[in-house]
Amino acid sequence: MDWLTLPDAAVQLQVPVTRVRQMVRDRTLLARREDGVLRVPAEFISDGVVVKGLPGLLTLLADAGFADDEALDWLFREDPSLPGTPIQALIDNRGKEVKRRAQALAF
């Protein structure tokens, strides 16, 4: 998995870094601290925007009781039933399938 620092994510999204920090606080994006630096997965941003369906999916996972690290791990874990990873399915515009699986986790 490739990671972007918040300033790098801001450049890709063409917004100020303060906006990216707000997106992390609002759970529009998830970030992980590595070596003291907050980073977001590069796969969360495609063509200058946050991947379609990601913010709603992050809310769904949080409502299901997932901590941020658990949600990140789930998004990048291979799922033979998709096939691939949930984040790749979102990128491929198969968000309904991913949300169905995430909803099933809540029960």
Distance CA 7, CA 14 (A): 10
What global pTM score does this model have? 0.91
Distance CA 29, CA 55 (A): 7
Distance CA 38, CA 60 (A): 23
Structure-token pair, residue 59: 């809310």
Supply the pLDDT for residue 107.
58
Range of the structural domain that residue 45 is part of: 3-105
Supply the pLDDT for residue 81.
86
| Average pLDDT by stretches of 10, the chain with 107 residues | 96 98 96 95 96 96 93 95 94 94 80
Distance CA 22, CA 27 (A): 8
Smallest Cα–Cα separation from 71: which of 31, 25, 23? 31
Count of structural domains within the chain: 1
